[in-house]
Amino acid sequence: MVRVIISGTVASVFMGMTGATIGAMIFDTATVPFVASACTGFVLGTLGFYRDAVRKSLRSLDRYPRLLQLHLDANFPHRGFETWPASRFRSSEFRQSWVLRSMLVASWLTATHAIDRILEAEEEGILAPFTKSALEPEIEVADSSTKHS
């Protein structure tokens, strides 16, 4: 929720100031152009955030269906997501209904911390062979210097 408000507010400020500047140059007044531009900016900013969140949440649903099922059930227990078969937790299913997309976005926002942890673990797994081989020469150098002492 906070991210939506921040996204809309930032867009509102920039659009409002742009509209006020253009309005002042054309009409010698900036009040009404600022209000109209700021409102438009807020709406466009929040819609942009929502579209991006829908795209990311659908992709996350395909990658982590069990995690998002857990969050969907926790956020919307009255919908009975725990009784759904695993095959229904696909982006194609949620893409069909704006209500399901909205629930998915809300659940994805609560699952972002867990998704970040999963991605960090995957990244560590990728980096481990490289960092292990980079540390081995340092260990050998340290061992040889202690033998010479």
pLDDT tens digit string along 37-83? 999 999 999 999 999 999 999 999 999 999 999 999 999 999 999 99
Does residue 138 or residue 6 have the better pLDDT? 6
Residues 3 and 45: their CA atoms lie apart, in Å, by: 11
pLDDT tens digit string along 95-122? 999 999 999 999 999 999 999 999 999 9
Residue with tokens 């809309």, as numbered in its chain: 8
Number of domains present in the structure of the chain: 1
pLDDT tens digit string along 16-46? 999 999 999 999 999 999 999 999 999 999 9
**Exposed e or buried b for every residue in 87-116, given b needs 16+ CB within 10 A?**
eebebeebeeeeebbebbbbbbbebeeebe
Q: Are the CB atoms for 48 and 11 separated by under 8 Å?
A: yes
Per-residue confidence (pLDDT) for residue 130, from 0 to 100: 85
Q: Are the CB atoms for 68 and 101 separated by under 8 Å?
A: no
Tell me the whole-structure pTM to 2 decimals.
Answer: 0.75
Q: Which residues, 6+ apart, have CB-to-CB distance to 34 below 8 Å? A: 16, 17, 19, 20, 23
Residue 6 binned pLDDT confidence (cut-offs 50, 70, 90)? very high
8 Rama class: left (phi>0) / alpha (psi -120 to 50) / beta: alpha
Task: List the domain range (segments joined by +) for residue 7.
Answer: 2-148
